[in-house]
Amino acid sequence: MAEPAFESFAFEGQQDAAKFGLRQRATFPLALKPVEGWQPTLQESIALLRQLSESGALFEQVRNHGGAVLIRGLPIATPQDYSEIAHAFGFPAHEEVGRPPLRTVLARNVKTANEGWVALVQYARDINHDKTARAAYMAPQRVWVVYDQPCLADILLSRRPELCLGLAAALNEQAPEFVQALLEKGVKYVYRYGLEEVASNTGTSVLGAYGQHVQPGDDQETRREKIEDEVRRHSDHFEWHEDGSLSVTHIVPIIRRHEETGLTTWFGNLTSAWGRSKFHGATEPPYRGDDDSYHPPPLYGDGSKIENQYLDLALSLAESLQVPVKWQKGDIVLLDVRLITQFSHAALTLD
């Protein structure tokens, strides 16, 4: 019987990370599987992952390969299995405050990524898993994703990670004036939450996003106080509307420096926000789309309009810098969300 260990493997679509801005050549993403002859149990998998985490060896490899690792061949059959595997790394759980998409908790710190319309083009559903980069703080540094739905295989073939280093570098080459404007002004995101849940990829309600502490017997004033307390945990800018909906504003940088590599990266969901606005026909006030949800396009941090040609360029570049991954049941991916973004079916966010 083989000794417990992982070995690298190649799959169609992998890229050279140097192409996206990394200083050294390396396959992106890193892909690992149990060595031939070793068929680990769940507990054996957990023990090896804990060992690799505590030594720091895996994290160094991930960083050297552009910020992502695909691990295939582990005996993951249930959300609980996935939860135990992910927690083997010892990361503290990330607390989600405000959540545009609908999610369902499946196991400890495991929830669906997005329960909006499944049959949507990629950016309309969720091109980025760094949604939390829209907030001034409380963004997770790492995200685990797992593929657990064989019936969605044809759809998930198009879900791909993109390297944010590459997007930042490409934009700086093709539109340096846009990058400079982003550096000077940052980006302003406005999320509007209605009273009711809607069938949308961003359509959670006010209570769904910020009503964690609201009780059925609370009066309107108490409900609003509790909701506002949650909002203030990541934004001091919000507005109630006459129809009872709530707008929450975040003004944050999008061009940032990745601490470990020192490289410039793109950390935000400007591209997905603009893609959804276009897809749902919500590029003009009041920005309510054909899915009955609000999709206001991003602005510069000073509130001025970002030129459409720059938004279109960023979206086009994001799409061109994608790496296709053909998912298999039980696949898991660890992402450094400051370097890359990802879409999948279920997600566990960890600090």
Q: Which DSSP symbol is given to 343?
A: -
As a 3-state breakdown, the chain gives helix, strand, coil percent values, each rounded to 5, of: 30, 20, 50
Asked if residue 152 is part of any domain, the answer here is: yes
CATH number of the domain that residue 135 is part of:
3.60.130.10
pLDDT of residue 293: 80
pLDDT of residue 304: 97
pLDDT of residue 140: 41
88 in Cβ contact with 324 (< 8 Å) = no
148 in Cβ contact with 76 (< 8 Å) = yes
Residue indicated by tokens 């080459």: 173
Q: CA–CA separation, 147 vs 56, rounded Å?
A: 25
- Backbone conformation region of residue 217, classed left if phi is above 0, alpha if psi is from -120 to 50, else beta: alpha
Asked if residue 1 is part of any domain, the answer here is: no
3-state secondary structure of 237: strand
Q: Could you tell me if 26 and 150 lie in one domain?
A: yes
- Name the nearest CA neighbour of 277 among 263, 291, 264, 257: 291
316 in Cβ contact with 170 (< 8 Å) = no
pLDDT of residue 200: 52
Q: Which DSSP symbol is given to 128?
A: -
pLDDT of residue 171: 93
Q: Could you tell me if 118 and 235 lie in one domain?
A: no
Asked if residue 46 is part of any domain, the answer here is: yes
pLDDT of residue 55: 93
Q: How many domains, the chain?
A: 2
pLDDT of residue 118: 39
Q: Could you tell me if 20 and 67 lie in one domain?
A: yes
H helical segments located in the chain = 42-55, 57-64, 79-87, 122-126, 153-156, 164-174, 176-185, 206-210, 220-231, 270-279, 308-320
pLDDT of residue 237: 94
- Pair type for strands 68-71 and 30-34: parallel
- Name the nearest CA neighbour of 210 among 162, 258, 183, 245: 245
Residue indicated by tokens 């196991």: 107
3-state secondary structure of 141: coil
The per-residue pLDDT string of the chain (351 residues; one tens digit each, 9 = 90 and over) reads 678 899 999 988 787 877 766 677 888 889 999 999 999 999 999 999 999 989 988 888 888 887 788 899 999 888 889 889 888 887 777 666 675 566 677 777 777 665 544 333 333 333 333 344 444 433 444 455 555 543 333 222 223 334 577 788 889 999 999 999 999 999 999 888 888 766 555 557 898 889 989 999 999 999 999 999 999 998 999 999 999 999 999 999 999 887 766 778 888 889 888 988 998 899 998 888 888 888 889 999 999 999 999 999 999 988 777 777 777 878 888 876 555 543 333 333 333
pLDDT of residue 131: 41
Q: Could you tell me if 114 and 205 lie in one domain?
A: no
- Backbone conformation region of residue 106, classed left if phi is above 0, alpha if psi is from -120 to 50, else beta: alpha
Q: Could you tell me if 329 and 207 lie in one domain?
A: no
Per the structure, the complete domain to which residue 49 belongs is given by 6-164+323-350
Kindly report the length of the chain: 351
Q: Write the single-letter amino acid at 351.
A: D
Q: Could you tell me if 158 and 298 lie in one domain?
A: no
Q: Could you tell me if 298 and 239 lie in one domain?
A: yes
pLDDT of residue 321: 75
- Name the nearest CA neighbour of 203 among 133, 279, 289, 119: 289
Q: CA–CA separation, 338 vs 63, rounded Å?
A: 11
